[in-house]
Amino acid sequence: SNLNKYVYANIDYIMGKNGQNQSFIVGFGAKNPLHPHHRNVYLSDANVGNTGQQGLIIPAKNQQFGYMVGGVRSGTYADQITNYQTSEGGIDYNAGLVGALAYINSVVSPVINGLAESQSNNNSISVFPNPSSDGFNIQSIAVYNVRIHNELGNTLQDFNTSSVHSFGANLQPGLYHAVFSEDGKIIKTINVLKQ
């Protein structure tokens, strides 16, 4: 699937690919917000007034790395505590940021799920029947190391195979991943469903 360029361009802008090279995420980039409008991060409930607020320093343990502030659409961003219109952040801003980053990650680095085989030019390996209520057979023309992983990524079986090999009779019902490797390099992953 192709990445939505509109989402990508907006995330780039938020992360600092703009006319000022200004990131709007605390702790991200060389030029990022240092004075977000959020009283509790300063560990001070003192009402110091607008003139004293800019001098407050956020303790390191409270710096809220990843906290996105409102920013500006155009013009110059003023990193000032008192300018809540541009330096305020919140859960509503950050929820959208996390969602957009998750979308980008899902397109750039998709996670294997379901029964579809991974993309591979190696058609010399097959697993059948799939799905199965008993065990599975692997047919291959070369010797491969095979690791069977559960959904949590735990290795349940590890064996070498060539020609035809049976496995999985003792597996509980569920989705498993048969990962084939040669000389330590993964060459194919096949998802198998034990019914």
- Rounded Cα distance between 60 and 90, Å, is 19
Q: Say what the pLDDT of residue 117 is.
A: 45
Cα four-point dihedral sign 146, 147, 148, 152: negative
| Residue 79, number of CB atoms within 10 A of its CB | 16
Residues 109-165 have pLDDT tens digits of: 766 555 544 444 456 888 999 999 999 999 888 889 999 998 888 899 999 987 788
Residue 115 lies in a domain: no
The count of domains in the chain is 2
- Rounded Cα distance between 134 and 129, Å, is 9
Please tell me the predicted confidence (pLDDT) of residue 45. Answer: 63
CA distances from 125 to 32, 146, 191 (A): 50, 11, 13
Please report whether residue 149 resides in a domain.
Answer: yes
Residue with tokens 């959904």: 151
Question: Do 104 and 129 belong together in one domain?
Answer: no
Asked if 134 is an active-site residue, the reply is: no
Grade residue 193 by pLDDT with cuts at 50, 70 and 90: very high
CATH code of residue 164: 2.60.40.10
Given the residues 79, 117, 149, 165, select the one marked as catalytic.
79
Q: Which of 108, 142, 160 is the last residue of a domain?
A: 108
Q: What is the pTM of this model?
A: 0.55
Spatial CA neighbour of 159 closest among 128, 136, 193: 136
pLDDT tens for each residue of 9-67: 999 999 999 999 999 999 899 999 988 887 666 666 666 666 666 777 777 777 788 88
Structural domain contains residue 117: no
Q: Which of 35, 37, 38, 177 is catalytic?
A: 37
pLDDT for 76 equals 87
Residues 18 and 104 in one domain: yes
Co-location of 87 and 139 in the same domain? no
Is 184 within the bounds of a domain?
yes
- Domain, as residue range, for 149: 125-194
Residues 64 and 154 in one domain: no
Q: Give yes or no: 88 in active site.
A: yes
Question: Has residue 174 been placed in a domain?
Answer: yes
Catalytic residue (choose from 35, 38, 45, 88): 88
